[in-house]
Every structure is written in structure tokens, then in C-alpha cells.
Structure 1
């Protein structure tokens, strides 16, 4: 991205994704399918870095929260669409049962490639490359015709100059230098908390509801409702982001997740749980409420904080480091969750709420101490405040001179 730009990198990745889908679609043996999945997965990982970087650099301050949090909505919509496609092909008895879902991905590649030429390059990238005329044209395309982009252009050039003076750097090593270390820690922390707070349970929703005692058809319906509430929660977060600070929404939402997870765990300890249908429904309903709260706070606001705390010169690399950290934590959870909930293993059922509730409580303590308020701040102001090592609790009212 730093050599060729966000737009070209993204376009190349979409083309590679479309190419690797061919391998998955025509695979008739497990080794070939594995190769296709691995190659496709390598490219898919780049989108988690490109999307937040581009969204944060192409949006004005007023819309920055909404547009970066939209990334979480995209994940939820993808899961809903995937569930619908799988439900439609699961009854097939030939190779289309698995080839069909792979083929459906080509539709999105086509839609993206049709719109790709009309997307401007990131003005921040162009400014760092000294291509000021192109940067100004990109800003004009992103703004209304009535908006004078000159002040924004001047601010961006000044921010880039300031980061050069602060020696923010441009390499992965610079993400861990003293000037950027705190910002990288926050980015890694908020992204990892997505996993630590239990979001990977989404993939096990139907199975979890079945273990809780619900009939299979009802469990599937609940899993769809689970995702739908996450969708609604993310939409509602846009209203909150305009009225309240990122820190307030994030910490309040995380606290709510702690309470809900602990209550879910407590309900599973009630004597006669397996024969108590109302109790099972209550526990399952709390899972739905949990996902709504997650979609309202930790899920979308994570991406807002992730983008805003990163220095512009190393934003893509900071996001990449945070994404890699989240992926490593995700691998651990992917391995651990089946052992925790499977009846022939730990058989934790709803008691898994104690596990994730405890981790979420520890995350809340860290978040309260480390995640600052970034709402309404320009990137230049954030650079100055981080360079001055302003205390977390003072970010909201700090006046930059």
C-alpha cells in the first residue's frame, strides 16, 4: 500500500481473490481445496488492513466515526449473506453444495471491480508522495463542490510535516518506537478485545443454542436473529458516535458485555437447567442481547479507535500489526472454544460466559486506563497529544495550543 497506493493495492487484491476462487470452485479433492483456501485466505487478510486505512483517510472528521465503523457492519452483512447462501445450498447432494457458495463470491468481485475505477486514491498517500495536485483533485472528488478543500489540504500537509519532525517513521519497526508505541498498544488492544470478549461465538451460534437445549430449527432461527441484532446494533452505534465519545461508548458497552456474560454463566449453574425450557430460552435470549450490545459498542467502535489512534505515516502498518495480533488471539480461541463447549470435552455450555466474562472484565480495566477519547480531533491534534504523552483521562478536555 505504501508503494503503490491504497486503490491499486485493493484492486490487485480483488483480482487475486477472483482468481483463487477458481481453485476453490473447481476443487474436487481436499488437498486442492486446501491450497485454494490458503491462497484465498492470504489475500482476504489484506482487506482487514486496506479497508480501515482507506476509510479513515478518505472521510472528513464529521463522518470518520460512521464510515470506519461501517467496516463492522460489512462483516455482519457478510455473515448474514453467507448463512443465507449456505442454507440454500445445504440440501444439495452434488458438488454444488460447496461449489455454489464459492461461486457466489464472484458476484462481489464483479461489483467491486465495476465501481473501483471511480474511487479516488487516498489524499494522505498522495501527499506523502509529494503528489499535491493529485491529492487536491482527490479531495475535490471526495468533497461537495461548495467545500473549499484548500484548508483541509494545508492541514494534511502540516500534519505530515509534523510527523516528520516527531520522527514518526514509516516502517513496522517504527510502530514500536517510543513515539508510536502507545498508539500501537491501543490499536492492538482494542482489536484483540473483539475476540477476547467472545465474538467468535458467532460462528458457533447454532451449535451453542442446540447445546443449550433448543431444537435444531429453533437454534438456527436464533443464530440468524443473533446476526440480525448485531446488524441493528451497528446501525444504532452511528447515532451514539455522533453524540457521545468513542471512549464512553466502548467502555460502557464492554461493561455491559461483562454483566451479560456473567449472567449467562450463572443461569447455566441453576439446578435442573436442562429440564427448564424457560431458563434455556432466557439464556439464549441474553446471547442475542449480548450481540446487540457488542454491535452497538465494541464491534464498530473498535475500528474507529483503531484508525484514529494510528499515526498517519504508519497507519497501514499499525493496523496490519493490530490485525495480525487479533488473528493470533483468534487462532487460540478457534482452538479453545470447541474444547470448551463440546459435550465430550469440557461441556461448558453457557458456563463459557464465565470464561469470556472474566477476560472481558480484565479488558475493561485495561481499556479504562489506556483508551483515550479521540472524538472530533484532527490527526494533527492527536499527533501532538500523543507526543506530549497526555494522560488518558485528560484527552477529552485537552486544549492544543
Structure 2
């Protein structure tokens, strides 16, 4: 393990011989630390130009989220298609609607299964690797059958006559899932898992599939070794109970909190009952699906904006801003739903539609990033399993409860349900301010140090870690930079 480097050593680095012994016992340590500084120095365009395969495989993994979104949207859209409602629904006030209990079952079943899936994936990923688990999950996903495509298909197929108006939407899920499976077959195994298992040659081969320059691949291999060594030095065991011990408790609670904000913001309600909600507000079947297409365009716009400016402002302000935006939007929706006029109904539809933009611009685009970065490396899969299962459990609860809250004949809240989710998001906005740290442009080693030193939440962004100092000097040594290193 590299020995500590003082400020004086860094400031005087160009006034003395650059020797590997200044930074650690072997060149691998220097290379591993130098690659951290190199990553800090690079921008997105430079990374895209130098390592296109890295971004390609990231895209393959993002496709799995598109599949998830498509399936969630499809289940909610199907119950709003006229032929499906006539075949399987009951007549209510001159119109056919799917019974509330079946609405709950259709959306709640998948969420309940996600709880089991989260724990199983965590266990098998640690034991057999990430890639086999993803492939098995993809195969199960195909056997068990983006949101924008689902909305478009719902709009066009809803006007068809016969069963194919809704069967086509279900069959389309297989197409998305198969594309994901094919890409995942050729995806390299997680190098972190391979290093933890001592399979260094395989880890090196995996990294060479991600990085164009073998020197960079070797540097990242050394960086992973250093990060895991640091984490394992601080962590005696890797059980689920360790997620709630010492400084890991803070990290686990942050992951749980941000993931919990998804269902508590009304995401499951909006994605599963979007078109149906429009219909309850007096919008015609065909028009409701057309509005839903607009909602998904707003959703994509929010995600795109988050991608473009998120790294500029950071995860914390984007997430906090998203929570505040959703709070105001949902409360306004509830207020509009409380007034019985055409203008108020139109306003409620507008607020409900804009939800997609504010959610993806702030909360949705940053939840996975924050929750994936705050856990320590050796407990990451277990921490995520805990956070995801809690989120899925709450989503399951809302899947069964929400239909009874807004459906006619029961709670009948309709747009006034915005008061419920708006109040919860106000609470999450407060918690985000006090507990969600800035993880932007931080390596896992730096984050480990920040949490071990119990750095206050609002100091994460500016705090200079020892890992940063080591990386800066190592980079100077390897690159022979003549100027003094800035830290």
C-alpha cells in the first residue's frame, strides 16, 4: 500500500527526482493512482474518441433499463386499450374499466418479484459474476412475457379492432428483450469481480475490451486492485449485516433513501396508470394515448438535459432540484384537481404530463448514479440489493393501494392524489439537502476515504482527499509534468 504524501511533497514534486519509491513500493501502485488523475482530466468527448467500446458497453447496459421501462409502461397501457377493457373489464357508468383488484395485481406482481430478484442477483453476482446473472435474468425476462415506443404503439394499436390492439404491445416486449440478450452475450465480465476472485489475467482481458490503449487498461487494473485493497483493509467481512455497521450504515441509508424516492414520488402510479388517469379526467381513449406520447417526449427531454448538464452541476443539486420540482408540481396538480372546472381539469392534465420531465431531469437520472457510487466496493451488490428490494416493496404497496385511492367508486381522488405524493416529495427534498452528498467526479477510493473520515454531507464537493493528492503526484511522475501539481 502506498505511503502517505504530504502537501510539501506535492508542492515540491518538480524540484526533486521523480522516483517510484516516493509513491509506493512498486510501479503498479503509481500507475494505478496516475490513472485516477487521468480520468479526472478527461472530458466526455475525449473519452468517446479514445474509448468508444467503453461507451458502447455502457449503452448495452442502459438498454436493459429501456426494456424495464417499456415493460412497465406496457402493463399500464394495456389496461387502457378499449378492446382489452371490453374483453376483461366491467361496465362502470357506461364505460368499461378493468377492476381495481386486477389493476393492482398486474402492476404489483412484477414489483413483488423484483424483491426476490434483487436478493438473488446480489448473491449470485458475488458468487458467479455479473455477466452470468445478467444473462440468466435476460432469459427469464424473455420467457416471462423504452417507454416512448410503448406510448407510440399504444396510440396506434388502441384504434385497432380485435385482440391484436393489445397483444401486439405484449409481443413487442420480446423484441426489446432479445436485443438486450444478444448484446449481453458478448459483454465483458466485470473486472472488479474478476480482481476480487484473483483472476487478474481475465480481468486484464476484460479491461482490454473496454479501453483502446493497453496502457490504460493496465492502469485501471492496478486502480481496481488498490481500491479493493483499501476497502478490504477497512472491511473485515462482507455480509448483509455489514451494510448496517459503522460508516457503512450512512452509505446504505443514502442508497435506500434515493431509491425510495422513486415510488414515493408516484413513479409507479404514473407509469402504470398514465393513460387511465387521463381517461378518468375526461380525456377520450385515443386522445389519452396521444397525450401520453407527449409525456414521453418530455421524459426523454428531461433525461437528455440531465445527461448534458448533470456532470456540470453535480448529482446532489440535480437530485435536490428534482425533488423540489416534483413537490411543487404534484401539489399544483392536487390543487387543480380540487377545482371542478374545465380550466382546472386542463391544468391538472398539464401538471400530470409535466411530471415526466421533472422526474427524469432530476430524480430518475441520478438515483442509480448516486446509489451505485455511495456503497463501498466490497459491499456494492449487497447494498444495492437492500436498496432495490426496499424500493420494490414500497412500489408493490403503491401498486395495490394507489388504484383504490384514485379509482371512481373507491377513494376517487383522481388528480387530488398529487397532494399525497407531493407531501412525500417535500419530505425527500428536506432529506436530500441534509443527507445526499456530492459524488461527482469522485473515484471509489476517494469516496471510501470521505465516508471513513465522516466528512459532512455539504463538504463532499470541495474536500481534498489523500487519494487525490496521491493521484496527482503519481500522474506527475508518469507524465513527467514540469509544472507544480494543482490539488
Q: Shared topology, TM-score over 0.5?
A: yes
> RMSD of the alignment, in Å?
2.0
What residue number does 2:434 align with? Answer: 369
Structure 1 residues 293, 400: CA separation in 2 closer, same or farther (over 3 Å shift)?
same
Matched, 1:173 2:241: yes
What residue number does 2:250 align with? Answer: 182
What residue number does 2:35 align with? Answer: none
Contact persistence 1:265–1:353 (CA under 8 A): yes
Matched, 1:13 2:137: yes
SS of the residue corresponding to residue 149 of structure 2 reads helix
User: How many residue pairs were aligned?
Assistant: 340
Matched, 1:264 2:329: no
Q: 342, 346, 354: which is aligned to 2:419? A: 354
CA distance in 1, matches of 2:170, 2:289: 22
Structure 2: state its 5+ residue gaps. 1-124, 467-487
Structure 1 residues 281-360: aligned runs within 5 Å: 281-360=346-425
CA distance in 2, matches of 1:355, 1:8: 41
CA distance in 2, matches of 1:184, 1:191: 11
Structure 1: state its 5+ residue gaps. 22-76
CA distance in 2, matches of 1:278, 1:20: 43
Q: Please state how far the C-alpha of 1:396 moved relative to its aligned partner.
A: 0.8
CA distance in 1, matches of 2:242, 2:397: 27
Structure 1 residues 34-53: aligned runs within 5 Å: none
Normalised by the size of structure 2, how large is the TM-score?
0.66
Contact persistence 2:154–2:169 (CA under 8 A): yes
Structure 1 residues 154-169: aligned runs within 5 Å: 154-167=222-235, 169=237
From the CA coordinates, give the structure whose radius of gyration is larger.
2
Matched, 1:131 2:199: yes
CA distance in 1, matches of 2:169, 2:375: 36
Normalised by the size of structure 1, how large is the TM-score?
0.79
SS of the residue corresponding to residue 209 of structure 2 reads helix
Q: Please state how far the C-alpha of 1:212 moved relative to its aligned partner.
A: 2.2
Contact persistence 1:168–1:180 (CA under 8 A): no
Structure 1 residues 147, 222: CA separation in 2 closer, same or farther (over 3 Å shift)?
farther
SS of the residue corresponding to residue 2 of structure 1 reads helix
Q: Please state how far the C-alpha of 1:168 moved relative to its aligned partner.
A: 6.0
Contact persistence 1:267–1:279 (CA under 8 A): yes
Contact persistence 1:169–1:314 (CA under 8 A): no
What residue number does 2:162 align with? Answer: 93
Contact persistence 2:208–2:214 (CA under 8 A): no
The one-character-per-residue Cα deviations of 1:197-245 (angstroms, maximum 9, x if unpaired) are 1112322112222222323322222222222211221111101222111
The one-character-per-residue Cα deviations of 1:95-132 (angstroms, maximum 9, x if unpaired) are x5665444333323432343334211111111111111
Contact persistence 1:309–1:374 (CA under 8 A): yes
Higher relative contact order (CA 8 A, sep 6+): 2
CA distance in 2, matches of 1:109, 1:207: 26
Structure 1 residues 117, 84: CA separation in 2 closer, same or farther (over 3 Å shift)?
same
Structure 1 residues 99-110: aligned runs within 5 Å: 100-110=168-178
What residue number does 1:232 align with? Answer: 301
What residue number does 1:396 align with? Answer: 461
Structure 1 residues 113-132: aligned runs within 5 Å: 113-132=181-200
